[in-house]
């Protein structure tokens, strides 16, 4: 049995919050480090990559959105939970669009952060699908459930854990349309706090990653009035 604790990096410019979260997360079994911004995070990622990142949105200089966008552009697939003091739902959507795996508004209960971290870490280890050993081939895509990897024409495609889970769910039902509610239920669980709009955002990101032309998708198609379907697979 693996008892090695999950490694978390907290990125926040508030020293009091960093200290509080480090203490709380450590008490709940995480190996926790804290940094005050994107530059320090970059150094930590090089030295000792974490299992997940807790990233504040509102920071001086390079804010959390910019940091998240840069990490994803560099191919970093480490799960990111974004923190923000803003309450506008549009901020959640923008965060998801930049590649965050989850989003938590301040003020928040530290126990909720623990729950969110555990959820994104589970998604990196288990797609939640019945057959996690399968390898699906859909057009130029090869989707390996066990390795949580996606290749297109031999090239690796980097996806966040949430994006992979969504693609894996579509792959399990390739050729059969799924409603947004079905996608949420099968990918993230019936009680997940995931909106239809968040699903649309993730589909848009997936299309940018896997389609030759995301504005005229051939792999993930929209079924008007229903939801989405992944092109029929070839096993």
78 and 27 within one domain: yes
144 and 59 within one domain: no
221 and 187 within one domain: yes
Note down the domain range covering 219: 135-230
Which pLDDT tens digits describe the chain residue by residue (235 residues)?
A: 456 789 999 999 999 999 999 999 999 999 999 999 999 999 999 888 899 999 998 888 899 989 998 888 887 888 899 888 755 566 666 667 778 888 888 888 888 899 889 888 877 765 444 344 478 888 888 988 877 889 998 899 988 888 888 998 898 888 889 998 888 888 877 666 778 888 898 899 899 999 998 889 999 999 988 899 998 765 5
Res 129: pLDDT:
42
**Whole-prediction pTM value?**
0.62
Tell me the CATH number at 205: 1.10.10.10
How many helical (H) and strand (E) elements, i.e. helices and strands, does the chain have? 8, 12
178 and 93 within one domain: no
18 and 41 within one domain: yes
State the total domains in the chain.
2
Q: Which of 63, 94, 125 is the last residue of a domain?
A: 125
229: which 2 tokens? Answer: 């379907």
50 and 89 within one domain: yes
Q: Which of 83, 107, 125 is the last residue of a domain?
A: 125
- Tell me whether residue 113 is in a domain: yes
- Tell me whether residue 157 is in a domain: yes
166 and 88 within one domain: no
Provide the angle, in degrees to the nearest 10, between the axes of the packed helices 89-97 and 196-210. 20
49: which residues sit within 8 A by CB, 6+ positions away?
7, 78
142 and 73 within one domain: no
107 and 49 within one domain: yes
| Neighbour-count burial for 29-47, b at 16+ CB within 10 Å, e otherwise | ebebbbbbbbeebbebbee
Res 53: pLDDT:
96
Q: Which helix (DSSP H) or strand (DSSP E) does residue 144 occupy? A: strand 141-144
Res 1: pLDDT:
43
- Tell me whether residue 235 is in a domain: no
15 and 72 within one domain: yes
Question: What is the residue-wise DSSP string for 171-225?
Answer: HHTTTS-EEHHHHHHHHH-TT----HHHHHHHHHHHHHHH-SSTTS-SSEEEETT
Nearest to 148 by CA among 140, 160, 130: 160
In terms of DSSP bridges, do strands 52-56 and 7-11 run parallel, antiparallel, or are they unpaired?
parallel
Res 190: pLDDT:
64
149 and 97 within one domain: no
Q: Say how far apart CA 91 and CA 97 lie, in whole Å.
A: 10
29 and 87 within one domain: yes
Q: Which of 71, 91, 125 is the last residue of a domain?
A: 125
Tally the C-alpha atoms within 13 A of residue 235's C-alpha that lie toward its C-beta.
9
143: which 2 tokens? Answer: 């989707």
């Amino acid at each position: 049995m693996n008892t090695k604790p999950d490694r978390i990096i907290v990125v926040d410019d508030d020293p009091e919050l960093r200290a509080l979260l480090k203490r709380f997360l450590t008490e709940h079994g995480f190996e926790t480090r804290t940094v005050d911004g994107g530059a320090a995070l970059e150094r930590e990622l090089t030295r000792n990559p974490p299992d997940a990142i807790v990233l504040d949105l509102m920071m001086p200089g390079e804010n959390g959105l910019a940091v998240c966008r840069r990490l994803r552009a560099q191919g970093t697939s480490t799960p990111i939970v974004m923190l923000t003091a803003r309450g506008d739902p549009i901020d959640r959507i923008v965060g998801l669009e930049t590649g965050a795996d989850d989003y938590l508004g301040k003020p928040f209960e530290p126990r909720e952060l623990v729950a969110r971290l555990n959820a994104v870490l589970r998604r990196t280890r288990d797609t939640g699908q019945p057959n996690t050993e399968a390898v699906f081939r859909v057009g130029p895509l090869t989707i390996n459930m066990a390795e949580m990897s996606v290749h297109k024409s031999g090239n690796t495609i980097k996806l966040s854990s949430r994006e992979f889970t969504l693609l894996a769910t579509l792959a399990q039902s390739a050729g059969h349309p799924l409603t947004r509610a079905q996608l949420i239920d099968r990918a993230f669980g019936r009680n997940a706090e995931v909106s239809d709009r968040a699903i649309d955002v993730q589909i848009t990101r997936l299309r940018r990653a896997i389609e030759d032309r995301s504005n005229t998708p051939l792999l993930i198609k929209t079924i008007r009035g229903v939801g989405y379907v992944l092109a029929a697979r070839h096993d």
